[in-house]
């Protein structure tokens, strides 16, 4: 599937959900269909798909979101500091997102788009578009999810796929154990090497804050050069949602 086909699928999905109307998606009386949210986090290392974006340094991250509940449509903006020497002089990543996340009983769908934007970069190829399609299923004791991500020009390297398999398991005392495994498939000619990455994390909310301790790693360590340091590292994150 190429980017044009994926774009058509996204548009078709949006038109489909709009055609459903409010008859089948009516809100409870008095409940606003508009939901606004915000989040902020401090982390010891911004790891993206098994690779540090901050030269193994800390990051401050945050974003804002909007959801239109009747149609399960979502818009968002999120940002993080990054290592400028790896992104053409840009010292911040800004992600713009749009998604459709309906659910039917225990089955969830996640169809969306992400724009990775690096303002003030000297290399516009860093600005990247990516589409994704994900499916999840709530098995009560665990929730597996599989997501396929596609970009027609991944950081100037041409078409690329990223497959993500994740699962979360509720534990006693309100802890959650989560795991993730990803496959990167590059098809360009800039020398990007295919690799796998994984993450195992233990998290819990306490006092209105979220706490997560994770171990992140990946294959093909010898392909990493600073500031894109590879995994094999523990990451601690404190977050707050509003």
pLDDT tens digits for range 200-228: 999 999 999 999 999 999 999 988 887 78
C-alpha to C-alpha distance for 133 and 164, rounded to whole angstroms: 10
pTM > 0.75: yes or no: yes
More confident residue, 182 or 140: 182
Residue for token digits 């969830």? 108
Residue 175 located in a structural domain: yes
Residue 232: give its domain's CATH number. 2.40.160.40
pLDDT of 199 higher than 70: yes
Q: Report the distance separating Cα 173 and Cα 190, nearest Å.
A: 48
pLDDT of res. 189:
76
Kindly state whether residue 32 falls inside one of the protein's structural domains: no
23-53 per-position pLDDT tens digit: 334 445 568 999 999 999 999 999 999 999 9
What pLDDT shows up at residue 137? 96
> What is the pLDDT, as a whole number, of residue 190?
75
- Cα–Cα distance measured from residue 135 to residue 143, given in angstroms and rounded to the nearest whole number: 10
Q: State how far the Cα of 196 lies from the Cα of 108, in Å rounded to an integer.
A: 25
State how far the Cα of 151 lies from the Cα of 202, in Å rounded to an integer: 30
19 within domain boundaries: no
**Residue 119: is its pLDDT beyond 70?**
yes
The closest alpha carbon to 212, from 81, 41, 79, 70, belongs to: 41
Instruction: Identify whether 172 is part of a domain.
Output: yes
Q: Is 50 exceeded by the pLDDT of residue 233?
A: yes
Task: Calculate what percentage of the chain has a pLDDT beyond 90.
Answer: 74
SS3 201: strand
Helix-, strand-, coil-residue percentages of the chain, each rounded to 5: 15, 55, 35
Judge whether 118 lies within some domain: yes
Q: Name which of 36, 40, 46, 95 is nearest 241 in CA terms.
A: 40
Percent of the chain with pLDDT over 70: 88
Q: Is 22 within a domain?
A: no
Which residues constitute the domain of residue 210?
3-14+37-241
- Count structural domains, the chain: 1
Residue 138 within any structural domain of the chain: yes
């Amino acid at each position: 599937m190429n980017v044009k086909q994926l774009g058509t699928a996204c548009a078709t999905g949006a038109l489909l959900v709009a055609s459903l109307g409010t008859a089948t998606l009516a809100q409870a009386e008095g409940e606003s269909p508009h939901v606004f949210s915000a989040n902020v986090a401090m982390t010891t290392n911004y790891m993206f798909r098994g690779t540090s974006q901050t030269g193994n340094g800390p990051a401050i991250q945050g974003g804002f979101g909007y959801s239109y509940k009747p149609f399960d449509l979502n818009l968002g903006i999120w940002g993080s500091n990054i290592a400028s020497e790896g992104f053409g002089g840009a010292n911040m990543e800004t992600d713009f997102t749009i998604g459709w996340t309906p659910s039917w009983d225990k089955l969830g769908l996640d169809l969306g788009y992400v724009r990775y934007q690096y303002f003030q970069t000297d290399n516009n190829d860093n600005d990247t578009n990516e589409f994704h399609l994900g499916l999840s299923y709530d098995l009560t004791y665990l929730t597996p999810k599989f997501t396929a991500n596609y970009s027609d020009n991944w950081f100037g390297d041409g078409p690329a796929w990223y497959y993500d398999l994740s699962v979360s398991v509720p534990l006693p005392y309100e802890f959650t154990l989560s795991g993730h495994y990803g496959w990167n498939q590059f098809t360009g000619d800039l020398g990007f090497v295919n690799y796998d990455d994984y993450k195992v994390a233990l998290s819990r909310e306490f006092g209105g804050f979220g706490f997560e301790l994770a171990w992140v790693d990946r294959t093909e360590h010898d392909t990493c050069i600073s500031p894109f340091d590879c995994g094999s590292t523990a990451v601690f994150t404190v977050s707050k949602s509003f």
